[in-house]
Amino acid sequence: MAVDLLLGLQWGDEGKGKIVDVLTSKYDIVARFQGGPNAGHTLEFDGIKHVLRTIPSGIFHKNTINLIGNGVVIDPVVFVKELEGLDKFKLDYRKNLFISRKAHIILPTHRLLDAASETSKGKAKIGSTLKGIGPTYMDKTGRNGIRIGDLEFENWQKKYRALADKHEALIGFYNVDIQYNLEEMEKEFFEAVEVLKTMRFIDSEDYLYQAQKEGKSILAEGAQGSLLDVDFGTYPFVTSSNTTAAGACTGLGIPPNKIKEVYGIFKAYTTRVGSGPFPTELFDKAGEQMAKLGNEFGAVTGRPRRCGWLDLVALKYATQVNGVTQLMMIKGDVLSGFKTLKVCIAYKYKGETIRHLPFNIEPENVSPIYKELPGWKEDLTKLKDANNLPKELINYIDFLEKELEIPIKLVSVGPDRTQTIHR
Ligand code: GDP
Ligand code: IMO
Ligand code: MG
């Protein structure tokens, strides 16, 4: 049985949580492959709104196994709070939530290092969510990290102490003023680790191999977005993992030839939270309207998201590095009421018109070239059938499909599970 992937094509927050939840009933297993609690995946159903951080977005479906893969980094403190947040739903997560022994652990000092690094950068800061993501992945690739499987051995605390002490020395090296009480942070951390240890740890790559052999269907859930990928994103304003399709192979142990569908999800416009270049960013009333109607505030930090027109140059690039086979578009409803819509189809770059993403897309190098399309007035949020979409929206979708050369198979018209139109 093949594995399908769902991943974001922009700078994150493309509605991955909602759509994974919508698709889960078709899958036996949903597996997160990278990122950590920098993610905030929002699900809405039956009048409930819930944000997941590390736990896969299939968790509300009782018959689906949810797996946190080896590519994910886990903060025990955040994770335990996340479990507590699920308690009211009466889910049996000790039965259907598994954690890879090879997933790395975010220590309290990783969070402090994140803060120290960001503070030291001043205006050049990445705009990190300050969840310790970068420092944890640095320890992973530096071969110093502590993994979930280590918790099953007696001496892990010795390893912990040595690493935390080294981190404290490094924090001193940054020479910045950050206030913290490590003793309190560690107390909370060790308590959370005890709860974490009651969860089911597995050798997830073998589990997934056997599951495939038995014909089980698997959906791999990405976090962040392709333009935040550490290799292919807008470096250095990126996260520290591979958010693109290849990240699912390394983050779960899935061979490339087992991947079938790659669902690429995008917003009908563009948003970005944190620093870094954003060629189609708007600083006018249109941008304000998107932010207001789209309720564009980060699910993790509450920071306002920067908004702008859809950037097809960046989107096409993302479809290429991921090998997207089907597109999904969310938040078309937010654009209702715009008389005309702009879509960036090329960049002016060093006096030339280009249609690919160059090495550097800082505003001094790149300016967007737009095509204008007519907007639609209708409220989309109650629509159920693709045939009833306004003709201007169908025209918008047709234009995107032609430019991107990939079909848009799903259109989301509101945050709720039911506000989803299949085409
Ligand atoms: P994720 O990180 O990719 O899972 O996305 P987030 O949950 O951070 O951000 C997406 C936001 O848009 C959430 O608040 C969703 O509830 C909301 N959302 C998802 N799809 C739609 C849609 O089609 N229309 C509207 N208006 N909101 C949506
Ligand atoms: P989901 O999965 C949007 C951004 C941060 C910052 C940069 C680096 O909800 O789409 P990090 O904490 O990883 O060191 O931050 O990446 N970022 C996200 N932006 N959605 C996310 O996740 C993000 N995770 C990280 O704002 O610019
Ligand atoms: Mg999010």
- The pLDDT tens digits of the residues spanning 220-264 come to 999 999 999 999 999 999 999 999 999 999 999 999 999 999 999
pLDDT of residue 303: 87
What pLDDT does residue 300 have? 81
Q: What is the mean pLDDT of residues 331-337?
A: 97
The residue-averaged pLDDT of 318-345 equals 98
pLDDT of residue 401: 98
> What pLDDT digit, counting tens, does each position of 121-171 carry?
999 999 999 999 999 999 999 999 999 999 999 899 999 999 999 999 999
Residue 303 DSSP symbol: P
Q: What are phi and psi of 148, to 5 degrees?
A: -50, -45
Q: How far is the CA of 384 from the centre of ligand 3 (A)?
A: 25
The answer to whether 7 and 245 have CB atoms below 8 angstroms apart is: yes
pLDDT, tens digit (0-9, with 9 covering 90-100), for 277-308: 999 999 999 999 999 999 999 878 888 999 99
Ligand 1 near 147 CB (within 6 A): no
Distances (CA, A) of 27 to 61, 87, 202: 10, 24, 20
| Token digits of residue 98 | 């598994």
What CA–CA distance (Å, rounded) separates 129 from 93? 27
CB distance 415 to ligand 1 below 6 Å: yes
- What is the model's pLDDT at position 301? 83
pLDDT, tens digit (0-9, with 9 covering 90-100), for 207-227 = 999 999 999 999 999 999 999
Pocket test for ligand 2, best of 16, 270, 273, 305 (most atoms within 8 A of CB): 273
Beta strands in 362-416 (DSSP E): 366-374, 408-412
Q: Which of 13, 229, 333, 416 is catalytic?
A: 13
* Atom from ligand 1 closest to the CA of residue 39: 2
Of all protein residues, the one whose alpha carbon is nearest to atom 15 of ligand 2 is 128
Among candidate residues 311, 287, 236, the one with its CA nearest the CA of residue 10: 311
Asked whether the beta carbons of 170 and 112 are under 8 A apart, the reply is no
Average pLDDT over residues 255-274: 97
| 110 close to ligand 1 (CB < 6 Angstrom) | no
Query: Could you tell me where the beta strands, DSSP code E, fall in 268-381?
Result: 270-272, 306-308, 310-311, 326-330, 340-349, 352-354, 366-374
Share of the chain above pLDDT 70, in %: 100
Query: What's the token pair of residue 168?
Result: 């404290």
Please give the number of the atom of ligand 1 that sits closest to the Cα of 18.
Answer: 19
pLDDT in tens, 12-25: 999 999 999 999 99
- Nearest ligand atom owner, CA of 412: 1
Question: How would you classify residue 122: left for phi > 0, otherwise alpha for psi between -120 and 50, otherwise beta?
Answer: left
Torsion, Cα 129 109 117 222, to 10 degrees, reads -40
Q: 4, 21, 41, 104: which is the annotated catalytic residue? A: 41
**φ, ψ for residue 420, nearest 5 deg:** -135, 125
- pLDDT value at 375 more than 90: yes
Give the pLDDT confidence score for residue 2 in this predicted structure.
Answer: 84
pLDDT band of residue 56 (cuts 50, 70, 90) is: very high
**Mean pLDDT, the chain, integer:** 97
Handedness of CA 396, 399, 401, 403 (dihedral sign): negative
* 193 three-class SS: helix
How confident is the model over 406-421, as a mean pLDDT?
98
Nearest CA to ligand 1 atom 13: 42
How does 252-282 read in b/e, with b if 16+ C-beta sit within 10 Å?
A: bbbeeeebeebbbbbbbbbbbbbbbbbbbbb
Active site residue 75: no
Binding site membership of 41 for ligand 1 (Cβ less than 6 Å):
yes
13 is catalytic: yes
**pTM, rounded to two decimals:** 0.97
How is residue 147 annotated by DSSP? B
Q: 140 CB under 6 A from ligand 1?
A: no
**What are the pLDDT digits (tens) for 376-399?**
999 999 999 999 999 999 999 999
Does the pLDDT at position 1 exceed 80?
A: no
